Copies of this chain bind each other. A is one copy, B any other.
């Protein structure tokens, strides 16, 4: 059975891909170049796609006119991790997952697939509202109301196999499926080596600590 997967190059979506493969899905991968600061994640996304492997992998350029996110506006610094604040972080990109899911659903309908896989999870870090299960459910509803596939009785499923896993559990899951996390990238800064200090690095490192294995990625300093 064919499924579309959104691969960011990060640990979560790579693991979701490994889960989908373990369930027998043939994967059609999409990655998005939205001029993100850590655009080097797309190289990692390609490597992840090759290793799963996927049947096809498209990098979709998006020209989003967004000024307010630290991931798309280089004038806004990426903060070092601060999980004492409960608000939505400055790395939030307006509507990002709605756009990614919309394009994934469009592509899925076009190739006759009805399954979408994403690496969304909410346990360790629920600062991003567009990873929440109620959001995913609303997108699924919209897709089934607004597509030919949905109207004709072939509804879409949006799979979020990692939704309720901690970062440690995600890594343990991926390792058990033979995933090589050296192929993944998490750091929000686009430098040659991961910074080890941004929210994304901190969560990743903490996940590897929970599992008791060392992160194969190289870090600064």
Contacts and interface: CB of A to CB of B under 8 A. Distances in A.
Interface in A41-61: 58, 60-61
Interface string A83-111: 00000100011111111011101110111
A181 to B, nearest CB: 28
Interface string A116-151: 000000000000011010110011011101111111
A36 to B, nearest CB: 14
A146 B142 contact: no
A64 interface: yes
Chain A interface size, under 10 / 10 to 19 / 20 to 34 / 35 or more? 35 or more
A92 B109 CA distance: 11
B135 A66 contact: no
Given A88-B151, A109-B94, A110-B94, A142 B139 contact: yes
Contact of A146 (B68, B103, B135): B135
A212 interface: no
Interface of A: 58, 60-69, 88, 92-99, 101-103, 105-107, 109-111, 129-130, 132, 134-135, 138-139, 141-143, 145-152
Given A66-B106, A95-B147, 20 more contacts: A60-B63, A64-B107, A65-B107, A68-B109, A68-B110, A94-B107, A94-B147, A94-B148, A95-B102, A95-B103, A95-B105, A97-B146, A101-B102, A102-B102, A132-B146, A134-B145, A138-B138, A139-B142, A141-B141, A141-B142
